[in-house]
Amino acid sequence: MPEQDIHNGTCAILSSRLGFGQYIPSLLLQQKLQAAGLNATLSFVEDGYAIDKKATFEQTKAAFNGNPHLAKVAARLQLNKAGLIDPAAKASWLAGWQAAQCTTFLCFSGYWAEVLMAYARIRDIDISCILMDATPSPVWEPLFKDTHIQLHRYPLFDLATAQFHYKLDIPQPLPVLPLEQRPPQVLAHGGGWGIFQPVQLTAMLSAGLQVHCIVNDAKDATSPEIHYLLNLPPEAGEHKFPALQSLQDHTRFTAADHHPVLDRMAASRAVISKPGGMTVIDALLTATPLIFLQSIGTHEQANRSLCLQLGIGMDWEDWAATGYALTPLLQMHHILRDIYKKTPDLVPMLIQRLKQHH
């Protein structure tokens, strides 16, 4: 059963460990709420999975890691959510929230729908859904359709309106160098799934670019000409930002208030990745152009479409056709800086709402 650490006046942050795209922003949000004097617990839906579902989750993630073709097929399938949450875990969450009179929830994942819908039958609750993609993933649909729940949607960016609504700044924003002052290097990563094709990385070396690549397994470090960094996820039960470790000299990179991938992005001319929601936000924070590998699922396809429309990203094949030129990157960099300046940070607005609510 999931651990409970809930006090009266608490707001509950509900997230997922499926990749880093929800884990990292939820950890960042908890830190900023606590710094503002608010009680904020953080729970992950996987901690309440039934035993057989946990095993399936780990097997699926292992299969996806480094296998974009399998991941794309799986993304088209409807996950069987029947029996996803262990009844004892569900009862534990409901009892803990009830005892603490918890009525305010900040939710990053639609997989919490079953538990939230059950709690909404016990008492009136207020849910803020923080949407990390340009169109909501289908897993949100049950929650959105429930008429018993007071629901607020906060899309960080949105394909329908073709704009950024919010950003998620880290507590101490990083200095953002103009792109032309950055070294001739790019950062490649496949998000939490480790999805990229090595041939795409080595092709850029001939253009005089240094390639830094984040991998989830040391065996994926296949080229001596590429600087590899190993993702080091937190241990089970830890609420820490992931670390990175150089596979060349074993230097370890950590940060207390952000994922150190941000520091790497801020020193790069482009980030080459699938169009995950957190990657898009990281690109905005560091004004780093996005070069897209293949997307996973309709929500990432929407992210890609929005970024292409706004002029802050381009497909890898199109950039390769330019000979990996700097000019299109400079154009995207300036647009990102403009968008950042006019986009409000989500967290201060949430803090104001929460303080009024409590």
Residue 16 in domain: yes
CATH of the domain at 290: 3.40.50.2000
Q: Are residues 116 and 232 in the same domain?
A: no
pLDDT level of residue 246 (50, 70, 90 thresholds): very high
Domain that holds residue 122: 11-49+85-167+344-357
Q: Are residues 231 and 286 in the same domain?
A: yes
- Contact status, residue 134 vs residue 306, Cβ threshold 8 Å: yes
Q: Are residues 187 and 156 in the same domain?
A: no
pLDDT at 56: 60
Residue 267 in domain: yes
pLDDT at 62: 54
Q: Are residues 90 and 190 in the same domain?
A: no
b/e per residue, 270-301, with b = 16+ CB within 10 A? bbbbbbbbbbbbbbbbbbbbbbbbbbbbbbbb
Q: Are residues 195 and 140 in the same domain?
A: no
Residue 266 in domain: yes
pLDDT level of residue 111 (50, 70, 90 thresholds): very high
pLDDT level of residue 77 (50, 70, 90 thresholds): very low
Percentage with pLDDT > 70 across the chain = 84
Distance CA 234, CA 244 (A): 11
pLDDT at 81: 56
Quote the DSSP letter at residue 196: -
Residue 174 in domain: no
Quote the DSSP letter at residue 194: T
Residue with tokens 């790497």: 264
pLDDT level of residue 24 (50, 70, 90 thresholds): very high
pLDDT at 29: 96
Checking if the pLDDT of 54 tops 90, the result is no
Q: How far is CA 215 from CA 21, 113, 198, 258, 290, in A?
A: 16, 32, 11, 18, 18
Residue 1 in domain: no
Q: Are residues 111 and 141 in the same domain?
A: yes
Checking if the pLDDT of 28 tops 50, the result is yes
Coarse DSSP helix, strand, coil percentages of the chain, rounded to the nearest 5 percent = 45, 20, 40
pLDDT at 1: 47
Q: Are residues 130 and 215 in the same domain?
A: no
According to DSSP, the residues that pair with 111 across neighbouring strands are none
pLDDT at 8: 47
pTM of the model: 0.89
Percentage with pLDDT > 90 across the chain = 66
CATH of the domain at 155: 3.40.50.2300
Residue 74 in domain: no
Residue 232 in domain: yes
DSSP assignments along 92-120, one per residue = HHHHHHHHTT--EEEES-GGGHHHHHHHH
Q: Are residues 338 and 348 in the same domain?
A: no
Q: Are residues 198 and 336 in the same domain?
A: yes
pLDDT at 144: 93
Q: Are residues 140 and 184 in the same domain?
A: no
Cβ neighbour number for residue 353 with a 10 Å cutoff: 16
Domain count, the chain: 2
| Phi and psi at residue 135, to the nearest 5° | -145, 140
Q: Are residues 135 and 195 in the same domain?
A: no
Q: What is the mean pLDDT of residues 109-135?
A: 95
Higher pLDDT, 58 or 36: 36
Distance CA 165, CA 155 (A): 7
pLDDT at 237: 77
pLDDT level of residue 82 (50, 70, 90 thresholds): low
Higher pLDDT, 64 or 126: 126
Q: What is the mean pLDDT of residues 164-179?
A: 93
Distance CA 281, CA 78 (A): 27
Residue 31 in domain: yes
Q: How far is CA 289 from CA 19, 38, 314, 316, 341, in A?
A: 22, 35, 8, 12, 16
Higher pLDDT, 248 or 3: 248
pLDDT at 189: 85
pLDDT in tens, 285-330: 999 999 998 766 788 899 999 999 999 999 999 999 999 999 999 9
pLDDT in tens, 199-225: 677 888 888 999 999 988 888 888 889
Q: Decide the pairing of beta strands 210-215 and 185-188.
A: parallel
Q: Decide the pairing of beta strands 313-315 and 290-292.
A: parallel
pLDDT at 236: 73
CA angle, 164 as apex, 242 and 155 as ends, to 5°?
A: 70
pLDDT at 57: 56
Q: Are residues 116 and 248 in the same domain?
A: no
CA neighbor of 43 nearest in space, from 19, 8, 12: 12
Q: How far is CA 220 from CA 79, 211, 228, 229, 249, in A?
A: 28, 14, 9, 10, 17
